[in-house]
Structure 1
Amino acid sequence: MRSAVGEREPVTGWEVRRPPQRGRTAGVSLAGFRDRGTGPVDLPVIPHPALTLVVEFGDGPLIVGDALGRQQRGSLVAGLAPVAMRMRGENIACVEVHLSPLVTHAVLGVRPAELARTVVALDDLWGRDAARIREQLGGAPSWEDRFALTDAFLARRRGTGPPVDPEVVRAWDRILVSRGRVRIEDLAAEVGWSRKRLWSRFRSQIGLPPKRAASLVRFRHAAQRLTAGASAAHVATECGYTDQSHLHREAVAFTGVTPSALAGDPGLATDDIAWAGREAGETR
């Protein structure tokens, strides 16, 4: 039996939950994760076209580290397309939040460009509020309550912040709709800006240059196709990569592992169950 908050069938030792409906803040999506105690977790982090906020409340430490040896323990915020990272830990329980870069400043209080390609402790952004929401989630009796608490907390924190330029919104939407297969010259022409102006304003407000953002969106779609069982060669052709080697390089750059290793990794299947078809980056 499935619960009211979207309980999914067990996948590789994870309990994965989804809220029954969208929250009150546009551009924000939630999912819940709890490992089933089958042993230590060591998985690549799958990039998304959204900033990721993780509020942990489990018994064991959640550790995210990158290839350079940098580590972040506990609740965190990851910007768009950080260097390849792995998640490690045991007895992990957390609510994960995906934030469209269009609403990140309003919800987190910082611009996406300040978080791009890096990971920071949630305490550094929210101070005592971070400890407060962790305590509330740990004491909540159900996933439904945890999602409601998180949704209400994010709604209360949302400020005004400077608006994103309509041209940048349009360019971001085109990148998402095209699954990253759009020429930056065409984007600039569509919004009526020079390529240089689009690059500058887009990077400032989204956190990545448009070409890198398009690569991120394209790779996310490629990862979903790998999850569905498509071969790396087929995915490379379908998603617009120059060849299979091009997909290989992108996979290693984004996740630290090859497409074949990624396709067989339990983290990708778990991630896809939680987020497929409902990325925060796909909404305003």
Structure 2
Amino acid sequence: MALHLGRGVITAGPGVRFARAGGLWRVTRPWHPGLRPFLRSYAGYWDAATSPYQVRLVPTGSAVVVISLAEPFAQVRRLGLPGEGSGRIGSLVVGLEDRPTLAGHPGGQEAIRLELTPLGAYRLFAIPMGELTNHVVELHHILGPAAAVLVQRLAATRDWAERFDLLDAALLARLDIGPDPAPEVGHAYRLLVGTAGTIPIARISAEVGWSKSYLIRRFTQQIGLTPKTYGRVMRFHRAMGMLTRGGASLADTSAVCGYYDQAHLNREFRALAGTTPGRMLRARRVEGALTL
């Protein structure tokens, strides 16, 4: 399969699929079985347009890796935190977040984007995840000099099947030697995900057999957010899903997702997404990004 997409011919081997996603081409292939436990999303993107654009990124409860194969981002800036942002940045790692981010790009993007579960990210990055919370870091600062070589090899091939093969091999090799998270942290994480963040922290503490303070410390180290904050992000995503599917009022969504009332829901959307539920639902969304 070959596509003529403006900057030459892009080819794709068996199993690779191209689909339109907003203004981008989204490129996917079935995930390698060895990667599935650690991933939430894994796709390539290609944008023929060269017009600058800006998107707002909302917390996903995942860590994100973006491998830039063409134009880098012009700016990535966290809302609500001091500083002017990243400046020009190419391949990057984004830790777990509890606030929105603005990302600007000059256009002509070609990249591979991965969303990793928090425990998958802890194993892949092999550093305390709390060090990455609300931070955007160049990829080579986390994965070392080999990351730059890998990015060059990925950019040099125009065949997406080969790109996925190269990246799969690099990810599997690093995951194979990465640290194992504590079983108690894994159990606490699954309880929060399984209840969409509504389980009390005291109950999690009792189930894993740790004191509340020790649970918070170890969870934050290996996940990147406190259990309470991670629960906020899970409730936000459940609420967003209910509203997106339609049929649920703001009052019903508030009650089901564990908010005190509709005003509480609105405050959480402003804190985590920087906008109201209504405005967020009217925005075009691709992989957690809202087009501004």
What is the TM-score when the length of structure 1 is the normalising length? Answer: 0.84
1:20 counterpart (30, 39, 49): 30
Q: What is the aligned partner in structure 2 of residue 261 from structure 1?
A: 279
Distance of 2:238 and 2:160 partners within structure 1: 28
Mapping for residues 20-169 of structure 1, pairs under 5 Å:
20-25=30-35, 26-28=37-39, 29-37=41-49, 39-59=51-71, 61=73, 63-67=75-79, 68=82, 69-72=84-87, 73-89=89-105, 90-158=107-175, 160-169=177-186
Q: Distance in 1 between matches of 2:21 and 2:66?
A: 20
Structure 1 consecutive aligned stretches of length 4 or more whose deviation exceeds 6 Å: none
Count of residues in correspondence between the two structures: 270
Partner deviation per Cα, 1:41-71 (whole Å, 9 max, x = no partner): 2111132222111111123545322224322
Instruction: Give the superposition deviation at 1:148.
Output: 2.0
Q: Is the 8 A contact 2:28 2:44 kept in 1?
A: yes
The structural deviation recorded for 1:249 is 1.9
Alignment match of 1:186 (pick from 179, 194, 203)? 203
Stretch deviating more after TM superposition (156-165 or 255-264): 156-165
After superposition, the Cα gap between the structure-2 partners of 1:94 and 1:235, relative to the gap in structure 1 and judged at 3 Å, is farther
Aligned AA for 1:104? Answer: A
Q: Once structures 1 and 2 are overlaid, which stretch shifts more, 184-193 or 14-23?
A: 14-23
Measured in 2, the distance between the counterparts of 1:260 and 1:143 equals: 37
Identity across the alignment (%): 30
Amino acid at match of 1:83: R
Whether the 8 Å CA contact 2:18–2:26 is kept in 1: the answer is yes
Q: What is the deviation of 1:36?
A: 4.0
Conservation of the 8 A alpha-carbon contact between 1:232 and 1:260: no
| Structure of higher CA gyration radius | 2
Q: Structure 1 residues 258, 109: CA separation in 2 closer, same or farther (over 3 Å shift)?
A: same
Q: Which runs of 5+ in 1 are unaligned?
A: 274-284
Q: CA distance change for structure 1 residues 247 and 142 in 2, over 3 Å: closer, same or farther? A: farther
Question: Equivalent of 2:268, from 247, 250, 257?
Answer: 250
Secondary structure, in 3 states, of the residue corresponding to 2:21? Answer: coil
Structure 1 window deviating more from structure 2 (130-139 vs 158-167): it is 158-167
Matched, 1:271 2:287: yes
Q: Establish whether residue 209 from structure 1 lines up as the match of residue 226 from structure 2.
A: yes
Report the CA distance shift for 1:237/1:36 in structure 2 as closer, same or farther (over 3 A): farther
Q: Distance in 2 between matches of 1:141 and 1:103?
A: 28
8 Å Cα contact 1:104/1:110 also seen in 2 = no
In structure 2, what is the equivalent of residue 277 of structure 1? none
RMSD, aligned α-carbons: 2.6
Superposition deviation, residue 182 in structure 1: 1.0
Hey, what's the Cα distance between the residues in 2 that align with 1:143 and 1:222?
35
Q: Deviation at 1:85?
A: 0.3
Kindly indicate which of the two structures has a greater share of residues assigned to strand: 2
Q: Deviations over 1:216-266 (max 9, x none)?
A: 122122233343345661433332222222222222222222222221222
Evaluate the alpha carbon distance shift between residue 61 and residue 171 of structure 1 in structure 2; reply closer, same or farther with a 3 A threshold: closer
Indicate conservation of the 8 Å contact 2:60/2:288, yes or no.
no
- Give the gaps of 5 or more residues in structure 2: 2-13
> Residues 261, 24 of structure 1: CA spacing in aligned structure 2 closer, same or farther, 3 A cutoff?
same
